[in-house]
Structure 1
Amino acid sequence: MTSSANIMVLLIEDDMDIAGTVSDYLELEGVECDHAFDGIRGFELAQQSNYDVILLDVMLPFRDGMSICEELRANGVDTPILMFTARDTLEDKLQGFQAGADDYLIKPFAMEELLMRTRVLSRRRSGEFKKFNLLDLSVDFDKRVVTRAGKDIKVSPTGWTILEVLSQNSPKLVSRSRLEVALWQGQPPDTNALKTHLYKLRQRIDKPFQHDLIHTVAGQGVALREA
């Protein structure tokens, strides 16, 4: 099991029962938790302090979670944000991703799932994803260098975004809609845009080599993983 040691989260939640349950559970698992009961105070804390993850409710007093997320991103705050809400439609989820959220959890949720997602998100700021390695593929996101089998590979800016999202979620599947949100805020220039960019990325990452690492599962998504 991945350790929760040294993870610091900010919980912005106005329901005192939910907030108490979440913060108590996380702290029992070794996750330190600050808490704000309204949107204004939550935004202030998110701006002032360094957290590994922000747990952000959508419906809040004084200021909603969507606007908080949007302004944090506009101000350059790159802390991973996990939104939770009772809204469960695809449109609601896309709105959250468009605002800058990294993950989305529907109420009511299991504490074990919240802990797991918090751990995964926290690693995005820990340095784990500054470099990614899979078999003979190496990606250095700080230096923007990709190599495979010791050969340098040039990747377009769009390809970098796709590669980063796939790396962060590897070996899990990433949905088409999630990639489109990362690339175009969910509004691709045409219906084949993602397919075209994935094809170009495969031509560079996979085609010259023996084993494919970018895999598409029809109707489900794309994954960066071993066959």
Structure 2
Amino acid sequence: MRILIVEDEPGIANFLKQGLEEESFAVDIAEKGHQGLELALSGEYDLLLLDWMIPGMSGIEICRQFRKTYKETPIIFLTAKDTVEETIFGLQTGANDYIKKPFHFDELLERIKVQLRPKSGEHYKFNLGNITLNTNTHQVFKNDEEIALTQKEFALLEYLMRNKGKVCRRTRIIESVWDIHFEYNTGVIDVYINALRKKLKLDKDENYIQTVRGVGYIAREV
């Protein structure tokens, strides 16, 4: 899951980024309103965290503009505003929730999880052959045996399984799983893919994670 933080206070923004990345989210930061809107409209984010008072363009205006294109993406306001009228105004603008500054990170994390909770009919379990991944419990099973994965291994497997049947390019994997947006040695992906194959004990008949030479990887049923 990828989150955009639009916040002009570097201390708050970096604190949130670190905490959310420890929870396996990919996070981008924008310190100015116009930059935040431009990033938001790229359509690459699963949730927006908007500071109400942001230089150049307020969080309210970002929310208004964003909602013209994206109706469903959750938006949470980070705000010092605390009157009932201001809260109602923010929600009427298109926000899904708000949290008042100062706030506890754990509370914000739970609010984020509520907004990202699968809706009725959406999946939180993904299957790949005899492998099952559960995003709610953060567990992976092969048949009835639980497979212990690191956070990055889990995030990589989740990305591949969410895109089952599609070729996942190296650049997209490194951006989505490692949150890196510049030229980078993508050889680290090969290391993690090999680790996944070993931990999942994939034999010749279980070639669920396949290499697409010169491009990336694809997860598909054998």
Q: If the length of structure 1 is used for normalisation, what is the TM-score?
A: 0.52
Once residues 33 and 76 of structure 1 are traced to their aligned partners in structure 2, the CA distance between those partners, rounded to angstroms, is: 19
Once residues 89 and 45 of structure 2 are traced to their aligned partners in structure 1, the CA distance between those partners, rounded to angstroms, is: 23
Once residues 64 and 46 of structure 1 are traced to their aligned partners in structure 2, the CA distance between those partners, rounded to angstroms, is: 14
Question: Amino acid of the residue matched to residue 94 of structure 2?
Answer: G
Number of equivalences: 122
Once residues 129 and 26 of structure 1 are traced to their aligned partners in structure 2, the CA distance between those partners, rounded to angstroms, is: 22
| Structure 1 residue 117 corresponds to structure 2 residue 107 | no
Question: Amino acid of the residue matched to residue 6 of structure 2?
Answer: I
Map of 1:10-29 to 2, 5 A cutoff?
10-29=4-23
| Structure 1 residue 39 corresponds to structure 2 residue 29 | no
For residue 19 of structure 1, report the CA deviation from its aligned partner: 0.4
Check conservation: 1:13, 1:38, Cα contact below 8 A.
Answer: yes
Once residues 48 and 31 of structure 1 are traced to their aligned partners in structure 2, the CA distance between those partners, rounded to angstroms, is: 18
Once residues 21 and 76 of structure 1 are traced to their aligned partners in structure 2, the CA distance between those partners, rounded to angstroms, is: 27
In structure 2, the partner of 1:51 is 45
Cα distance change, pair 106–10 in 1 and its aligned pair in 2 (3 A): same
Q: If the length of structure 2 is used for normalisation, what is the TM-score?
A: 0.53
Question: Amino acid of the residue matched to residue 88 of structure 1?
Answer: D
In structure 1, the partner of 2:95 is 101
Unaligned runs of 5+ in 1: 1-6, 133-227
1:129 to 119, 130, 148: 119
For residue 77 of structure 1, report the CA deviation from its aligned partner: 4.3
Check conservation: 1:47, 1:77, Cα contact below 8 A.
Answer: no
Check conservation: 1:14, 1:61, Cα contact below 8 A.
Answer: yes
- Give me the CA root mean square deviation: 1.4
In structure 2, the partner of 1:221 is none
Unaligned runs of 5+ in 2: 123-222
4+ residue stretches of structure 1 with deviation over 4 A? none
